Structure 1
């Protein structure tokens, strides 16, 4: 019977070590990705380093429409509704956010594209969406998105909508007397 108890003890220790290793793997993986400049979310998002040899296709224009949605107590919007660009040309658009709260807030922006088949051709070189933003109480900030459209974009795509949803990360629920 004591042999069974020893074996059970060893199995429990092994299971606990495996659980601890699995629990620590996510932050460890995130630190490795940050150190190497790898970010899975932005890679799926069509993010790439701008290649200076990219050919600009001046034979066509693509209209880029900008949209901003706020999921939280702030104002969030692009500073312009749209722009006409040539594929391969480097462009910049600004988004403006205003924290309307008397407290510091952490936020993250998640992009989406329409039509979806344009996503792999929308290449962001710099974007506030790459990391969380910390906004001081009542702070207003303009944040750039530097991008280009890959010249391999199918010719039938004439308009792309870039939309961001800006939401609070980590939540800062204010307790009231009712709570």
Structure 2
């Protein structure tokens, strides 16, 4: 039979492990952002309206841009874009629109997480406006068209002919706000 001190030791270790796991969960997003910034993986892109003002358009070539949307399992929204592909001149500002509709009977907040492939292209994709910068809250049945303005830097390597920008939509509704709304 175990003594009380052994039980306390096991309890303290278990609580410590749970506490570390909780801290790790909250640290994941900042750690992921740092990792993406260092490696250029998963498409963290530049955001600068001022930077665009000094960019020259390169009409000597075009780059194919593919736009992909996906919805995380359990997210009761429609999420799409009518523009699946477009040919762009590097340095020229383009605007595309994304559509979202909350199909549920409650208010839901969504967060679109962007990604760029190939990963080296993420250094050359700049957005001046994007729905992915902020969470989007839609009432039950509400729908919205969301703009995204971007340009491809003319310094994009000539070996990159296609850039894929994908957006994964996740439910970002906090349990506290859902409870406060009586949902």
TM-score using structure 2 length:
0.68
1:83 is matched with 86
Unaligned runs of 5+ in 1: 1-22, 27-42, 175-179
- Give the secondary-structure state (helix, strand or coil) at the position aligned to 1:129: helix
Indicate yes or no: 2:50 matched with 1:47: no
Question: Is the CA contact 1:78–1:94 (under 8 Å) kept in the aligned structure 2?
Answer: yes
Per-residue deviation, residues 27-74 of structure 1 (Å, max 9, x unmatched): xxxxxxxxxxxxxxxx94222224223110000000100000011111
User: What CA deviation, in whole Å up to 9, does each residue of 1:105-136 have, x standing for no partner?
Assistant: 11111000111110010000000011111101
Q: Does residue 1:99 correspond to 2:99, yes or no? A: no
The 5 Å alignment of 1:1-179 reads 44-49=44-49, 50-71=51-72, 72-171=75-174
Q: Distance in 1 between matches of 2:52 and 2:173?
A: 36
In structure 2, C-alpha distance between the alignment counterparts of 1:106 and 1:95, rounded to whole Å: 16
1:77-116 CA-partner distances (Å, limit 9, x unpaired)? 1121111000000000111111000111111110001111
Structure 2: runs of 5+ lacking an equivalent = 1-22, 27-42, 179-183
CA distance in 1 between counterparts of 2:97 and 2:135 reads 17
CA RMSD of aligned residues (A): 2.4
Aligned partners of 1:101 and 1:86: how far apart in 2? 40
